[in-house]
Amino acid sequence: MHGTIWSLIPFLVVIPLALLTRQVIPGLVAGLLIGSYMVNPSLLGGVGTALDYILKELAVSDNLRLIVFMYGFGAFVGLVRITGGVSGFAQLMEKKITSGRGAFIVTWLSSLITFMAPDFRIITVGPVMKQVFSRLQVPVNKVAFIIDATSTPLCAIMPLGTVFIGYSIGLLGTASRHQGIPMAPYNLFLLSIPFNFFSLAMLAFALAYSFRKTEKVQAENKESQSVESIETIRAKGSAKLAYAETSAEIALSSPKFNKQRKNDSRDETFPDPVELVAQNVKPNALNLILPLALLLILTLFYTWWDGHLHSSNFIEAFIQANAAKAMLEALLTTLLISFIWYSAQKQPLQRTLFGFLQGGNEMMAVNVLLVLVWAVSAVSTDLGFVSYTEQTVGRLVPAAFIAPAFFALGCSLSYVIGSSFGTWGILLPLGFSLAATEHAALPLIAGAVFASGTFGGFVSPLSDNTVAMATVMKIPVMDYAKLKLRLGLMVAAACLVLYGLVGWFYHGVY
């Protein structure tokens, strides 16, 4: 069984179940249990073996450090929300915007402060810019698309201060360890950024799309009065405002829309407890800006500090540093100083603790996903998955075709399941195994996998980001998802060709 076709079974179970259930965790659990029973084929042995793999992966210091980082980062976001930082930043953005061009400039500049997580950016920027752009008669679909395009694609390539980078480093570390790759996971992530073609291309497309002339919007609305938008009605006077909002509520409560919402992966019937509490807190933009600035500065400092004893210059210090360790130290220091900062403002301790714990708990689903990915990768390695791919599958897939093949497969998978993280967790171990076999460029393969997951997380109607943005903007989920899919496919098609060209000419291992 070791090193034979049977070693593929765990992954062959994970992917179909993920496609069938449109959820990643059930597939990973099934793959882990099946692989564990293959290692220990006794009545209760498989369950015990699966637990052993989970505990073994949690015992790895880098893995445990990442689990703490993910929880702490969620707690950080919860703190800045519940202390009025988000609402204060929203009020700050509304001031002095008098033109569509100025509004789009503010939208892009806001990404410098709200890049930590896609949902965080959508919830923070979406409601504010919706009001601003409706006053300026800019189509709501365009506004939603621009904010969305500067959420997931941007978070996927930011080198620090995001939940994405913590998750990515964890996956890269596991895949590298199982393949015996000596390169530091953070350095490998940095090298993969230029090859995340979809994120880079989508940002470039969104930038060009943002500043297309919007002066003709009013004339276009006159030509389509039968489908007049809520934003145009609102601009015509307060007499029609109530009618527009009522129409929106009717549309959102229609059977068709409710049926779609029931099919979505996000349950909208329960309010966000942090948001409910934050509504009663005095807005203060500094409660977002200062902690975020401190987090970024401390991350750079701790990274340099960790590597400077093993290097001779400033740049080499960052290369030699343990970035995951530095990010966790910076995050914990920021959390401590933030608590002191909020206490000095006489923020109730009970409220800040509630935001801390609630924000951290929201990351537990991601932590569970991470642990299962690690365990499935470990059991597959023990079954001889690596040696089998080296002997058979790797010989059938030329190195030049690995990147475009994984990008196409990942785009399909991520669109169906609506999860960037799930797609990365499933495909990255497979991609690294083939890359090691064919001596393909690891940064290119990693970039292609990250890009494919970003595609689904951005355009899928099952993505939390799609549902959140449609809800905030009060537009039908499927109509908005179709718009993103149409534009996203254009960008993805160009990226697929680019991966083919780069894969043909770029053959470096690292």
pLDDT at 394: 57
Which residue in 251, 145, 233, 148 sits closest to 475, CA to CA? Answer: 251
Q: Which tokens go with 68?
A: 């703490």
Q: Report how far apart, in Å, the C-alpha atoms of 208 and of each of 180, 249, 390 are.
A: 42, 33, 44
The Cα 342–Cα 197 span in angstroms is 40
Q: pLDDT tens digits for 480-496?
A: 888 999 999 999 999 99
The Cα 436–Cα 432 span in angstroms is 6
The answer on pLDDT for 146 being more than 70 is yes
More confident residue, 17 or 388: 17
Q: Report how far apart, in Å, the C-alpha atoms of 422 and of each of 53, 167, 339, 365 are.
A: 19, 11, 33, 11
The answer on pLDDT for 363 being more than 80 is yes
At 82, the amino acid letter reads I
Listed in order, strand segments (DSSP E) in 403-481 are none
pLDDT at 353: 93
3-state DSSP call for residue 78? Answer: helix
pLDDT at 393: 58
pLDDT at 222: 39
The Cα 425–Cα 377 span in angstroms is 9
pLDDT at 340: 93
Is 60 within the bounds of a domain?
Answer: yes
The answer on pLDDT for 219 being more than 60 is no
Is 218 within the bounds of a domain?
Answer: no
The Cα 38–Cα 384 span in angstroms is 12
The Cα 5–Cα 384 span in angstroms is 9
Helices 118-135, 85-94: crossing angle, 10 deg rounding = 30
Report percent pLDDT > 90 for the chain: 24
Instruction: With cut-offs at 50, 70 and 90, classify the pLDDT of residue 243.
Output: very low
Is 252 within the bounds of a domain?
Answer: yes
Q: Which tokens go with 94?
A: 């509304």
Region of 455 on the Ramachandran plot (φ > 0 left; ψ -120 to 50 alpha; else beta): alpha
Go through the chain and tell me how many residues it has: 510
| DSSP per residue, 218-240 | HHHHHHTGGG--HHHHHHT-HHH
Is 497 within the bounds of a domain?
Answer: yes
pLDDT at 495: 96
pLDDT at 116: 79
Query: How many CB atoms are closer than 10 A to CB 224?
Result: 10
The Cα 400–Cα 330 span in angstroms is 40
> Token match 């076709």: residue?
5
At 355, the amino acid letter reads G
Q: pLDDT tens digits for 125-139?
A: 887 788 778 777 888
Q: pLDDT tens digits for 220-230?
A: 443 333 333 44
More confident residue, 395 or 364: 364
Candidate from 18-27, 184-193, 201-210, 242-251 with smallest mean pLDDT = 242-251
HSE-up of residue 219 (Cα within 13 Å, Cβ side): 4
Is 220 within the bounds of a domain?
Answer: no
Contact 319/307 with Cβ under 8 angstroms? Answer: yes
Instruction: With cut-offs at 50, 70 and 90, classify the pLDDT of residue 277.
Output: confident
Q: Report how far apart, in Å, the C-alpha atoms of 48 and of each of 2, 41, 44, 53, 253 are.
A: 20, 11, 7, 9, 48
Contact 13/30 with Cβ under 8 angstroms? Answer: yes
| Contacts (Cβ under 8 Å, ≥6 apart) of 169 | 66, 185, 186, 189, 323, 324
Query: How many CB atoms are closer than 10 A to CB 182?
Result: 6
Question: Domain total for the chain?
Answer: 1
Q: pLDDT tens digits for 308-361?
A: 877 777 777 877 778 788 888 999 999 999 999 999 999 899 999 999 999 899
Is 217 within the bounds of a domain?
Answer: no
Mean residue pLDDT across the chain: 80
424-439: average pLDDT = 80
The answer on pLDDT for 390 being more than 70 is no
411-416: average pLDDT = 87
Q: Which tokens go with 401?
A: 């075709």
- Using CB atoms within 10 A of its CB, is residue 501 exposed (0-12), middle (13-18) or buried (19+)? exposed
26-51: average pLDDT = 89
pLDDT at 257: 37
- Using CB atoms within 10 A of its CB, is residue 287 exposed (0-12), middle (13-18) or buried (19+)? buried
Q: Report how far apart, in Å, the C-alpha atoms of 497 and of each of 332, 367, 370, 472 are.
A: 43, 34, 31, 35
| Contacts (Cβ under 8 Å, ≥6 apart) of 175 | 181, 377, 428, 429, 431, 432
| Contacts (Cβ under 8 Å, ≥6 apart) of 177 | none
The Cα 31–Cα 160 span in angstroms is 32
pLDDT at 96: 65
Is 320 within the bounds of a domain?
Answer: yes
State the residue range of the domain holding 36. Answer: 5-210+234-505
The answer on pLDDT for 245 being more than 60 is no
pLDDT at 66: 84
Instruction: With cut-offs at 50, 70 and 90, classify the pLDDT of residue 461.
Output: confident
Instruction: With cut-offs at 50, 70 and 90, classify the pLDDT of residue 460.
Output: confident
Q: Which tokens go with 402?
A: 């690995």
> Token match 């991601």: residue?
366
Q: pLDDT tens digits for 62-120?
A: 888 889 988 998 899 889 889 988 888 777 777 667 777 888 888 898 888 888 788 88
The Cα 93–Cα 109 span in angstroms is 10
pLDDT at 176: 81
Is 221 within the bounds of a domain?
Answer: no
Q: Which tokens go with 125?
A: 């920027």
Contact 460/420 with Cβ under 8 angstroms? Answer: no
Nearest 5°: the CA angle 173, 178, 182 is 60
